[in-house]
Each structure stands twice: as structure tokens, then as C-alpha cells.
């Protein structure tokens, strides 16, 4: 059958807009069902008017507020629209392949640089030759040890094509149509991930004011090996807390932190260790979006969600958790406790099995506030047998031992407030800063490690929370439970010459004087010491005066009460 040339022939090579690299690129599968042209005509193949992909594409046009004509045609007529477009044979297979190889090349290079993410930023950027001028371009940036570094600059159009090609032809979890006008999530297909040396590549794309921003999270294949808590960077006290949590057969355990803080990696290592400690005689089931780390022995289940951000994602999480409630499992792992699914996570723990999950918070005690905001009942929220473990962590850059620079050599070039914090709260003689880099490192950094705080709640801790919220609970934890804050952990690392204080403050999102500001200028350890001495003085005042006894030596004043723990400066000096 020949297509009617009168209205289907396209003499202009740029009329078809649904080809790769055009304004509205769609998948090859969807091109079998529709075609959109520059005449604002949407051609739909007969029998596909109610197709999900077709309806999604129409919604995209409606969102762009386009006025267009809708025509239903035979498949052969639809096919002729593409056949008559001169760019199809030149661009589609050849350019897709080139763009795919270009993207894989960026991923491989990022892996060699130990990057955790690739940012593709399309828009207006400062001209390298004149920073006052803005030019249209695409920046390819790598996040290496927490810092964003520009690796390459390409033309704006090439960046748009690169993102469209990756989201449309290289993913296995996405909508049928790539829409640059909305935020979308997808995942690099297994074939491409393996080709690039990845276990998984998570893709998040969306519009900006003047362009596009696409982030590819790089999860390397680790073969299921275990990284110890010490290797991750946890202090010995914190390692003990984690071991106690692992051996409890009840409650919810939260690992919190910002995006990119290593929460999922820590959680995966907890699961691997629990499986080995039980000699493989337990059933661990995980619910993840997507599955990020290989956990041998666990049943890892992906959440069945769509790529476009919507309320259906929450429903998918709830459905997955509900399925776990009726399953024969020993340990449940929820990849992320989202606001809508938090009550379901708590309900899962109330069935008598331990539940591990991650949540976004800036410190460990704030987790309680997140749970309260999500509607968890106070009686449940303050039960330490249910809320059984609170962890918060960040990843801080570790200095290269070969080129780091002592504090005294750069002191005069540092901001005055930073110098004050170092000299007041650290051991300046041990503090070091990042050098310019050497053959052993990447710009003065040799890797990253955890900076954390861990809490095993008890009844008094929860009572403090009931009385005064997260701040009162935090105060009780530090003063009466020997809690080590993330600030104190950072100070230990700085005093050991392992972390640049500037980079540490930025990466951990805490300042070196945070605890001092929280407790007053004396800091948490001095505050605890003064409180201990004050309590002792009050007890002494209540005692009756000693009776005078003949032929006895005069009473000797009692020695001052020994502080509960040494002052933080002495503690850090000992650790350093």
C-alpha cells in the first residue's frame, strides 16, 4: 500500500520531531505507534490511540501547551513519514551508536578517577576566555571524593543529544518516552552497565532554568565482598554499637545521612555480616529502588516504580512492604524510609523481626523528628524496643600522607574564623591541609571515610526526648551515655592529621565548634565535668558536719571528683 503523498510526504528534512536528536525524541518502539511533525500534527497508528506510551506523549505535548492536530493513520502511512525524512538513515543507527560509545567512554573514565557521580549540565556557562560572558555549552563533570571537577566541555546540542540518547536507548527502567521537561529517574541497562564496568548506574534527569541537568550515580561491582566497619571509618566505640544492633532480634535500625553519604554501602555491609554471622541460616529480604549493592545470600527485590516522579512511587513502596508483612523472613531491609512509607516500616518491625533502613537526616537525633513528622505515634516513637538504633554518617575526604601540608605552613593564608576554630578546638600541631596533589593521590586526597555518630536508645534517652525533643535527647546522650557526636569524630580525624578541617567541615556539614556552640563555650566534655562537680558539691553540702573526736587526726578534705571523661582536648591529643 502506498501512502497518500498529498499530506504525508515530507519534503523538508527537519519536519519529523520524534527522531533521536530532535525536539521530541522517542524510543524506536514508540515510533511504531506515533509521529509528531513540525506542522504540529500528531500522527497515531490505528489501534494505538489508548496506548500508554501514546497517551504519555500527548500529555507531554499538553504540558508544553502545544496546540496540535491529532490524526489516526495506517501503520504504513505512519512509517512513510519516517522513511521520507532524509535524516533518519543518516542519524538514527549511526549517531545513536556514537552517542552510546561517547557516554560509555565518560563512564569508564569516571570510574578510573574514582568518581561517584557524573553530572551532565546543559545551559549557559562562563566563557573560559572571558568569565563575564555566558555561552551555551555542556559541562561534563565528575564528583571525585566529594568534589565536582569539570572533565570536558562539549557543545550544547551535543549534550542534549547525549542525555536523550542515554535516557531513551540505554536504560531498562524508564517511561517509554524521554521528556526533558520533567524530572525523570531511570537505570542504565545491564548490558551497558557491564560494558562500562558498573554494577548499576542510576540516572536522574530534569530541566533547569536554561537547560538540562542529568546525574549518573556510579555503583561499582564489588563482587559481594565485605568491608569491615573499621575500614569504613567507624570508631571502635561505634563499631561496638553496630555489633550490638546487629545481634538484636527486634526493632528498627536507621542509618541516616545526606545523599551520597554512603548509607547504602554501610547497610549492605551490615546485611553481609549478619548473614555470615548466622552461618547462612537466616532469610534476609531487601526492598530497594534500585538494587544498589550485591548482597550474597539475600533476596534482593526491586521496587516496581515508574521513572517519572509521582505519588505512584510511594504506593509501590507500600505494596512491597505490605508483601513483606506476610513473608517468612528473619531480617527485613528497606532501601529507603520515605515519608509516606515510614509508618509501614514501623508496622513491619512490630511483627517481631528486625528491620534495617536508611533515611535522610543531618544527625542521629533528628531521625526521631522525621518519624514524628511522618505520623508515628508517641508511644511507639519513644519505645527503645522499637526504635532500637540510630546512626548518622557522612563521607569525609582523607588526606594524602605524601603531600599534605602542616597547619602552621598555611595558617596565614586561612580565614580568621577557621584559624580560631582550629586553635580553640583542635591540636594545631597535628592539623594538616590538602596539598596540590602528587603521583600517589588525586589533588591531595587519597580516599574517603565515614564520619559518624551512633546511638542505642534507652528508656532515659527516650524520656529526655519526650520532655524536650531532639535537643534534650541529644544533650542526655552526650552527657550521660558518653555519646560521640559527628563533630567530635571529625575533630579526632583532624587531630590525627587525616582530614583537612576545611574539607571535613564541608563534607560532614558540621563545624569544629558545633558542640561548643550547642553546650556553651566550654564544650560537651567540660560541661559534663562541671555538672558532675556541681552534683558532687550539692551532695557534700547536704552532709552533716563531722563530729570532733579526741585523739584523732584532723579530717582531710575529700579529693575533687574525677571527671566522667577527660576533657576533649586531652582525649583528642591521646587519639592523635
Ranking 373-377, 472-476, 539-543 by mean pLDDT, the lowest is 539-543
Nearest to 105 by CA among 197, 204, 188, 215: 197
Q: Give the pTM.
A: 0.73
Is the pLDDT at 11 greater than 70, yes or no? no
User: Cα dihedral sign for 254, 258, 261, 262?
Assistant: positive
Identify the residue with better confidence: 13 or 281: 281
CA distance 168 to 162: 10
pLDDT at 305: 53
Residue carrying C-alpha cell 529502588: 289
User: Using CA atoms in the order 324, 327, 331, 335, what is the torsion angle rounded to 10 degrees?
Assistant: -20
Task: Give percent above pLDDT 70 in the chain.
Answer: 84
Digit-coded pLDDT (tens) for 211-239:
999 999 999 888 778 999 999 999 999 99
- The CATH class for the domain spanning 90-220 reads alpha beta
pLDDT number for residue 234: 98
Distance CA 209, CA 189 (A): 29
Q: Comparing 100-104, 146-150, 250-254, 324-328, which segment has the lowest mean pLDDT?
A: 324-328
pLDDT exceeds 50 at position 474: yes
The SS3 assignment for 130 reads strand
pLDDT at 76: 87
Lowest average pLDDT, out of 18-32, 477-491, 493-507, 556-570, goes to: 556-570
d(CA 33, CA 470): 56
Average pLDDT, integer, range 56-85: 88
**Cis-peptide into 151, omega within 30 deg:** no
CATH domain 229-400+444-484 topology = Rossmann fold (3.40.50)
Cell (9 digits) for 65:
501547551
List beta partners, residue 148.
Answer: 143
- pLDDT for 540: 47
Distance CA 576, CA 571 (A): 9
Average pLDDT over residues 546-570: 41
Please state the rounded mean pLDDT for residues 510-523: 83
User: Which residues share a beta bridge with 332?
Assistant: 285, 355
Q: Which of 17-31, 487-501, 511-525 has the highest mean pLDDT?
A: 487-501
Q: Which residues in 8-40 are b (16+ Cβ under 10 Å) and which e? A: bebeeeebbbbbbbbebbbbeebbebbbbbeee
Task: Determine the pLDDT at residue 83.
Answer: 80
Cβ(318)–Cβ(340) under 8 Å?
yes
What's the CA gap between 80 and 432, in Å, rounded?
68
pLDDT (tens digit per residue) in 253-264? 999 999 999 999
User: What's the pLDDT at 85?
Assistant: 73
- Can you tell me the distance from the alpha carbon of 1 to that of 171, in angstroms, rounded to the nearest whole number? 35
- Main-chain dihedrals φ then ψ at residue 250, nearest 5 degrees: -155, 165
Beta bridge partners of 449: 396
Query: Residue 522's pLDDT band (boundaries 50, 70, 90)?
Result: low
pLDDT confidence of residue 67: 87
What's the pLDDT tens digit per position in 281-314? 999 999 988 788 889 999 999 886 544 444 456 7
Give the whole-angstrom CA distance, residue 328 versus residue 414. Answer: 58
Residues 443, 405: contact at Cβ < 8 Å? no
Residue 65 — very low, low, confident or very high, per pLDDT cuts 50/70/90? confident
Give domain limits for the chain: 5-85, 90-220, 229-400+444-484
What pLDDT, on the 0 to 100 scale, is given for residue 568?
Answer: 37
Is the CB of residue 338 less than 8 Å from the CB of residue 320?
Answer: no
Model confidence at 176, pLDDT cuts 50, 70, 90, reads low
Question: Across the chain, what does the average pLDDT equal?
Answer: 85
pLDDT tens string 117-165:
999 999 999 987 787 888 899 999 999 999 999 999 999 989 999 999 9
Q: Look at residue 523 in the predicted model and tell me its pLDDT.
A: 56
Kindly state the percentage of the chain with pLDDT values over 90.
61
Mean pLDDT value across residues 327-339: 91
Q: Is 80 exceeded by the pLDDT of residue 517?
A: yes
Amino acid at each position: 500500500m502506498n501512502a497518500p503523498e498529498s499530506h504525508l510526504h515530507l519534503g523538508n528534512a527537519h519536519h519529523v520531531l520524534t527522531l533521536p536528536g530532535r525536539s521530541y525524541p522517542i524510543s524506536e518502539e514508540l515510533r511504531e505507534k506515533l509521529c509528531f511533525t513540525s506542522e504540529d500534527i500528531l500522527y497515531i497508528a490505528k489501534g494505538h490511540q489508548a496506548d500508554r506510551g501514546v497517551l504519555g506523549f500527548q500529555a507531554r505535548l499538553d504540558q508544553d501547551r502545544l496546540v496540535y492536530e491529532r490524526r489516526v493513520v495506517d501503520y504504513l502511512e505512519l512509517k512513510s513519514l519516517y522513511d521520507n525524512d532524509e535524516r533518519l538513515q543518516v542519524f538514527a543507527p549511526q549517531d545513536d551508536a556514537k552517542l552510546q560509545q561517547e557516554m560509555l567512554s565518560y563512564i569508564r573514565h569516571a570510574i578510573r578517577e574514582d568518581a561517584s557521580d557524573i553530572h551532565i549540565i546543559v545551559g549557559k556557562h562562563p566563557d573560559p576566555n572571558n568569565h563575564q560572558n555566558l555561552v551555551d555549552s555542556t559541562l561534563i563533570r565528575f564528583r571525585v571524593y566529594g568534589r565536582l571537577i569539570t572533565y570536558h566541555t562539549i557543545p550544547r546540542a551535543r549534550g542534549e543529544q547525549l542525555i536523550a540518547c542515554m535516557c531513551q536507548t540505554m536504560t531498562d527502567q524508564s517511561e517509554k518516552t524521554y521528556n526533558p521537561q520533567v524530572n525523570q529517574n531511570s537505570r542504565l541497562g545491564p548490558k551497558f552497565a557491564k560494558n562500562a564496568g558498573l554494577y548499576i548506574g542510576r540516572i536522574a534527569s530534569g530541566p533547569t532554568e536554561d537547560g538540562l541537568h542529568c546525574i549518573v550515580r556510579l555503583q561499582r561491582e564489588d563482587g559481594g565482598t565485605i568491608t569491615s566497619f573499621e575500614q569504613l571509618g567507624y570508631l571502635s566505640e561505634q563499631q561496638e554499637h553496630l555489633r550490638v544492633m546487629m545481634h538484636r532480634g527486634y526493632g528498627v535500625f536507621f542509618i541516616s545521612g545526606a545523599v551520597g553519604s554512603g548509607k547504602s554501602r554501610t547497610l549492605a555491609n551490615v546485611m553481609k555480616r549478619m548473614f555470615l554471622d548466622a552461618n547462612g541460616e537466616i532469610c534476609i529480604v531487601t526492598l530497594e529502588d534500585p538494587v544498589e549493592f550485591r548482597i550474597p545470600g539475600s533476596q534482593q527485590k526491586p521496587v516496581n516504580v515508574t521513572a517519572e516522579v509521582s505519588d505512584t512511587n510511594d504506593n509501590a513502596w507500600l505494596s512491597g512492604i505490605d508483601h513483606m508483612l506476610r513473608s517468612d523472613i528473619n531480617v527485613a531491609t528497606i532501601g529507603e524510609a520515605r515519608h509516606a512509607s515510614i509508618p509501614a516500616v514501623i508496622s513491619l518491625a512490630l511483627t517481631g523481626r528486625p528491620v534495617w533502613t536508611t533515611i535522610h537526616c543531618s544527625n542521629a537525633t533528628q531521625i526521631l523528628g522525621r518519624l514524628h513528622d511522618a505520623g508515628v505515634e508517641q508511644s511507639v516513637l519513644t519505645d527503645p524496643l522499637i526504635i532500637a538504633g540510630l546512626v548518622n554518617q557522612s563521607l569525609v575526604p582523607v588526606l594524602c600522607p605524601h603531600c599534605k601540608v602542616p597547619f602552621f605552613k598555611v595558617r596565614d593564608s586561612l580565614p580568621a574564623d577557621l584559624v580560631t576554630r582550629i586553635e580553640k578546638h583542635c591540636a594545631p600541631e597535628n592539623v594538616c591541609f590538602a596539598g596540590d596533589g602528587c603521583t600517589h593521590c588525586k589533588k591531595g586526597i587519597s580516599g574517603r571515610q565515614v564520619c559518624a555518630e551512633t546511638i542505642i536508645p534507652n528508656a532515659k534517652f527516650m524520656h529526655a526526648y519526650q520532655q524536650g525533643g531532639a535537643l534534650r535527647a541529644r544533650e542526655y546522650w552526650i552527657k550521660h551515655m558518653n555519646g560521640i557526636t559527628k563533630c567530635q569524630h571529625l575533630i579526632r580525624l583532624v587531630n590525627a592529621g587525616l582530614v583537612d578541617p576545611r574539607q571535613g567541615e564541608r563534607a560532614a556539614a558540621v563545624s569544629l565548634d558545633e558542640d561548643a556552640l550547642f553546650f556553651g563555650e566550654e564544650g560537651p566534655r567540660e560541661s559534663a565535668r562541671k555538672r558532675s562537680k556541681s552534683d558532687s558539691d550539692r551532695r557534700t553540702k547536704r552532709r552533716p558536719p563531722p563530729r570532733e573526736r579526741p585523739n584523732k587526726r584532723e579530717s582531710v578534705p575529700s579529693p575533687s571528683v574525677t571527671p566522667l571523661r577527660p576533657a576533649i582536648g586531652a582525649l583528642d591529643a591521646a587519639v592523635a
